[in-house]
């Protein structure tokens, strides 16, 4: 027994630490890295271990806590009544056990329940006093949340003042969500602007709600739905089924779809009916919530430290469908990386038809044992990018074919290589048409040379018609060339010619980033432009000199030297010079003596309200430096929405982390 308890102690510590890390990512950073199902499996393991070894239960266990702590960027708000979280299950048998348990706790009583959609959003609590909104707060740790009142006020469906006969005090609970249509539109706009897309509507809603600038929140397609109350004065509530009418009367948006049941058969019937209609809602749903209707019965049933005994969430399995893997195609990116993509028999899943799914690399295909001709299981589960989960090996008839990455590029026929220690397979032909298209798109992107009008469709035509052979060819385009292209009238042509002309004045660091040297990002491009007076000096530098430059290092320095050693790249640079582009570094502007940014080093992470390059320009203008990696030498970490590993490392190092609003204040001072 001692050995078993010792091993349980060790495993409990590991599970608690893992759950705590996932709680932080989900509740505080709004950037989960595992699915709900994986998290629920971990949490169930924790509960099982604690049930078997009650002596090992600790007060700080995740089983005794709700959510995460309030973020320091927002003022704390103490809820009038705790915001507990629900126990959940994927099993209909456990729903039955839940209902039998409450029947046993309430002997000789009929126990009616209400079944309603489980909205996949961010829990919120609003406090109205005499009908006027006083504050809004996130769940936080269940007792103390974050004050997001100004952001909630930007959601049009949230009333500033309640209608009609208002209670003297009403704490109303609900969920902030991003509409599915709005989410798709937002991601399309972000992709067009060269910004990272959001993973799912829930993360997008959480990030939007926690913006420090309400103007940004107001621009996001957010909605809210209310389904519960906390503290209430001035109105008598006896049954949950009566709450919806009250909320509607007060002008608060609430669910129009819900069921009543007084038996297990009725509950399961409602759960099945909800599953059939849930994809028609404007918001994402991931389950059904079963709640005891009578508030007096709820009082008798009580709560645990974390959850009410009178409610449970049944979560639907992630939407999975089966389809046929017709082929595995290869896409070639701007750096020559070959990415396998599954071509599927089109299938409808989670509200849209899917015909393609990325497979990332050969290793993933082998790990999942996918073969051309397989029947495969496809999952979407609210994610932006569909994924193949597995193959139905039991349905194989022997005609299926194993996939191997090609030895030659499927576009240009050149030999492909795989660097030691890397999973990526790369086409080494710099003139490969597929690479050329992606390189020109990158060169013209907002973060690089910012040539408006030179998007994917235009680049496709330019390369297909042999009008450009590298990025320097952009500057040899004439009005006559462009007028011969699809959807290009005189006005469109004039605008594009003007945008190309204006790009010639872009600073050297943008050109360095735009020409697409492998491993050279914005930070390295700026460091190079700061170090060398002009591009000639940079091209003549030895690999050792390049490697000594801060933010460059060995890998990037070697890549730069190899790039400029290539005759075709040197020829391209000469053509850019002849076209009149700026190949010299800008003289550094004098820095104000009282600047609080002078001499500091910054790392920027996450999504911000304006283009990152504008913020970098502001820091550099005031004498600061922007780095691509976090270290002990970092003075400030500017963290935006959905910041990831850099923010986590900054916290571990105890660095100063500031929001975009704090940054604006610092600049103003």
Give me the torsion for CA of 72, 283, 88, 294, rounded to 10°. 100
The per-residue pLDDT for 70 is 45
pLDDT tier at 129, thresholds 50, 70, 90:
very high
Mean predicted lDDT score pLDDT of the chain: 85
Residue 138 lies in a domain: yes
* Mean predicted confidence (pLDDT) in 139-152: 88
In this structure, of 42-51, 241-250, 498-507, the range with the lowest mean pLDDT score is 42-51
Q: What is the pLDDT of residue 383?
A: 44
**CA–CA distance from 421 to each of 143, 405, 417, 425 (Å)?**
48, 17, 12, 11
Tens of pLDDT, residue by residue over 69-89, are 444 557 888 999 999 888 888
Residue, of 383 and 150, whose pLDDT is higher: 150
The stretch 232-256 carries a mean pLDDT of: 93
DSSP symbol at 28: I
d(CA 299, CA 293): 11
This prediction has a pTM of: 0.50
pLDDT reported for residue 506? 93
Q: What is the pLDDT of residue 210?
A: 77
Residue 589 domain flag: no
143-152, 238-247, 649-658: the lowest-pLDDT one: 649-658
> Taking the CB of residue 492, how many other CB atoms lie within 10 A of it?
15
- Give the pLDDT mean for 179-208: 71
Give the dihedral sign, CA 290/293/297/299.
positive
| Residues with Cβ within 8 Å of residue 614, at least 6 apart in sequence | none
Q: Kindly tell me the sign of the dihedral angle through the C-alpha atoms of 544, 546, 549, 552.
A: negative
What pLDDT is stored for residue 220 in this prediction? Answer: 82
Comparison of pLDDT for 235 and 619, the residue scoring more: 235
Scan for tokens 């009650």, then name that residue. Answer: 54
The mean pLDDT of 434-455, rounded to a whole number, is: 90
pLDDT at 385 over 70: no
Bigger pLDDT: 28 vs 115: 115
- Number of residues in the chain: 669
Tell me what pLDDT residue 194 has: 47
> 100 and 197: one domain?
yes
Q: Which residue has the higher pLDDT, 72 or 242?
A: 242
Torsion angle in degrees (nearest 10) through CA of 336, 340, 343, 349: -110
Pair 237, 324 in one domain: no
| Helix 612-621 × helix 522-531 angle, to 10° | 30
- What pLDDT, on the 0 to 100 scale, is given for residue 449? 93
Angle at 73 between CA 68 and CA 84, to 5 degrees: 25
* Partner residues linked to 325 by β-bridges: 344
Q: What is the CA radius of gyration of the chain?
A: 29
Q: In this structure, is residue 594 part of a structural domain?
A: no
DSSP secondary structure string, 11-26? HHHHHHHHHHHHHIII
- CB atoms < 10 A from the CB of 137, how many? 26
CB atoms within 10 A of CB 73: 15
Same domain, 559 and 493: yes
Q: Residue 382: its pLDDT value, please?
A: 46
d(CA 542, CA 157) in angstroms, rounded, equals 62
According to the model, what pLDDT value does residue 118 have? 93
pLDDT of residue 36: 63
309 has pLDDT over 90: yes
Does 254 reside within a domain? yes
Residue 118, strand partner residues: 287
Mean pLDDT of the 573-601 span = 79
Q: 462 with 484, same domain?
A: yes
- Tens digits of residue pLDDT in 507-557: 999 999 999 888 888 778 888 998 999 999 999 999 899 988 877 878 888
Report residue 439 as tokens: 């390189």
List residues bridging with 330 in a β-sheet: 340
Q: pLDDT over 70 for what percent of the chain?
A: 88
Instruction: State the pLDDT at residue 46.
Output: 83
Residue 479 has pLDDT above 80, yes or no: yes
Q: In this structure, what CATH number is given to the domain that contains residue 368?
A: 2.40.50.140
User: What tokens does 330 get?
Assistant: 């290869």
Contact 126, 79 (CB under 8 A): no
* Same domain membership, residue 497 and residue 476: yes
> Tens digit of pLDDT for each residue in 12-65?
888 888 887 776 665 555 566 666 667 777 877 888 888 788 888 776 677 655
Q: Which of 174-178, 202-206, 220-224, 354-358 has the lowest mean pLDDT?
A: 202-206
Mean pLDDT of 449-461: 91
| Residues 152-185: tens digit of each pLDDT | 988 888 988 999 899 999 999 999 998 888 887 7
Q: Is the pLDDT of residue 238 over 70?
A: yes
- Domains held by the chain: number: 5
Domain boundary among 578, 611, 633: 578
CATH code at 47? 1.10.287.610
Same domain as 40, residue 164: no
Q: Are residues 324 and 259 in the same domain?
A: no
For residues 388-402, average pLDDT: 93
Q: Is 171 in the same domain as 296?
A: yes
At 2 the pLDDT is: 44
Q: Is residue 410 part of a domain?
A: no
Specify whether the CB–CB gap between 254 and 226 falls below 8 A.
yes
Rounded Cα gap, residues 139 and 295, in angstroms: 22
Both 182 and 263 in one domain: the answer is yes
Question: Quick one: CA dihedral 210, 216, 218, 222, positive or negative?
Answer: negative
pLDDT category at 278 given cuts 50, 70, 90 is confident
- In which domain, by residue range, is 617 found? 601-668
> Which position has the higher pLDDT, 576 or 9?
576
pLDDT of residue 5: 79
Same domain, 305 and 337: no
Q: How many CB atoms lie within 10 A of CB 472?
A: 20
Q: Which of 33-37, 331-335, 356-360, 568-572 has the lowest mean pLDDT?
A: 33-37
**Residue 593: what pLDDT?**
47
Both tokens of residue 394?
Answer: 């039991």
Examine the domain organization and report whether 23 and 125 are in the same domain.
Answer: no
Does residue 426 form part of some domain?
Answer: no
Q: Which residues are identified as catalytic?
A: 118
Helices (H) and strands (E) counted in the chain, each on its own, are: 24, 24
Q: Is residue 592 part of a domain?
A: no
Q: What is the CATH number of the domain that holds 251?
A: 3.30.470.30
Single residue among 261, 282, 315 that ends a domain in this structure: 315
Contact 423, 320 (CB under 8 A): no
- In a domain? residue 124: yes
Same domain (yes/no): 457, 569: yes
- Residue 420: pLDDT band by 50, 70, 90 thresholds? low
85 contacts 67 by C-beta, under 8 angstroms? yes
Q: What CA–CA distances, in Å, run from 389 to 254, 318, 375?
A: 35, 11, 11
**Cβ–Cβ < 8 Å for 201, 138:** no
**Portion of the chain with pLDDT greater than 90, in percent:** 41
CATH of the domain at 646: 3.40.50.10190
Using 50, 70 and 90 to split pLDDT, how confident is the model at 1? very low
């Amino acid at each position: 027994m001692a050995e078993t308890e010792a091993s349980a102690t060790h495993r409990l510590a590991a599970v608690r630490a893992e759950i705590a890390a996932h709680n932080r990512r989900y509740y505080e950073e709004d950037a989960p890295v595992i699915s709900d199902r994986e998290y629920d499996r971990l949490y169930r393991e924790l509960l099982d271990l604690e049930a078997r070894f009650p002596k090992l239960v600790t007060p700080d266990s995740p089983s005794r806590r709700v959510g995460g702590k309030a973020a320091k960027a927002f003022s704390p708000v103490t809820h009038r009544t705790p915001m507990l979280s629900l126990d959940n299950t994927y099993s209909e048998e456990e729903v039955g056990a839940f209902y039998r348990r409450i029947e046993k706790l309430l002997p000789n009583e009929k126990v009616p329940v209400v079944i309603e959609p489980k909205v996949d959003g961010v829990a919120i609590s609003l406090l109205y006093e005499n009908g006027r909104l006083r504050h809004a707060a996130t769940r936080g740790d269940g007792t103390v949340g974050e004050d997001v009142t100004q952001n909630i006020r930007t959601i049009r469906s949230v009333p500033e003042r309640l209608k009609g006969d208002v209670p003297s005090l009403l704490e109303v609970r609900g969920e902030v969500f991003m509409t599915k249509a709005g989410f798709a539109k937002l991601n399309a706009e972000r992709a067009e602007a060269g910004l990272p897309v959001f993973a799912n509507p829930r993360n997008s809603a959480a990030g939007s709600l926690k913006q420090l600038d309400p103007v940004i929140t107001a621009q996001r397609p957010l909605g809210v739905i209310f389904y519960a109350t906390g503290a209430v004065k001035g109105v008598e509530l006896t049954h949950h089924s009566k709450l919806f009418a009250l909320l509607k009367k007060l002008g608060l948006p609430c669910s129009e779809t819900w069921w009543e049941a007084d038996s297990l058969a009725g509950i399961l019937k409602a759960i099945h009916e909800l599953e059939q209609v849930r994809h028609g809602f404007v918001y994402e749903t991931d389950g059904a919530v079963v709640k005891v209707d009578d508030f007096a019965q709820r009082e008798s049933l009580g709560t645990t430290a974390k959850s009410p005994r009178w409610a449970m969430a049944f979560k639907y399995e992630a939407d999975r469908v089966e389809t046929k893997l017709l082929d595995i195609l290869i896409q070639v990116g701007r750096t020559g990386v070959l990415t396998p993509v599954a071509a599927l028999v089109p299938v409808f899943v989670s509200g849209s038809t899917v015909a393609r799914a990325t497979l990332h690399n050969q290793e993933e295909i082998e790990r999942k044992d996918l073969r051309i001709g397989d029947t495969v299981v496809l999952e979407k589960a609210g994610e932006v990018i569909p994924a193949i989960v597995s193959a139905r090996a039991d349905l194989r008839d022997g005609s299926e074919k194993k996939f191997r990455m090609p030895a030659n590029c499927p576009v240009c026929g050149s030999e492909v290589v795989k660097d030691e220690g890397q999973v990526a397979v790369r086409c080494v032909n710099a003139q490969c048409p597929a690479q050329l298209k992606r390189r020109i798109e990158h060169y013209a992107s907002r973060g690089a040379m910012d040539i408006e009008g030179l998007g994917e469709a235009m680049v496709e035509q330019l390369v297909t018609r042999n009008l450009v052979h590298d990025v320097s060819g952009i500057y040899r385009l004439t009005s006559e060339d462009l007028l011969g292209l699809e959807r290009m009238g005189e006005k469109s042509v004039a605008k594009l010619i003007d945008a190309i002309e204006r790009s010639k004045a872009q600073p050297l660091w943008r050109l360095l980033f735009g020409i697409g040297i492998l491993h050279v990002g914005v930070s390295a491009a700026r460091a190079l432009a700061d170090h060398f007076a002009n591009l000639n000096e940079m091209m003549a530098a030895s690999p050792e000199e390049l490697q000594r430059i801060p933010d460059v290092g060995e890998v990037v320095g070697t890549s730069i030297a190899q790039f400029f050693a290539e005759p075709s790249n040197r020829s391209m640079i000469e053509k850019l010079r002849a076209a009149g582009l700026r190949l010299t570094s800008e003289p550094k502007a004098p820095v104000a003596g009282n600047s609080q940014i002078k001499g500091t080093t910054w790392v920027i992470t996450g999504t911000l309200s304006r283009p990152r390059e504008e913020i970098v320009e502001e820091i550099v203008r005031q004498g600061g430096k922007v780095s691509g990696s976090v270290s002990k030498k970092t003075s400030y970490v500017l963290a935006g929405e959905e910041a990831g590993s850099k923010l986590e490392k900054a916290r571990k190092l105890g660095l100063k982390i500031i929001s975009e609003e704090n940054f604006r204040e610092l600049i103003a001072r």
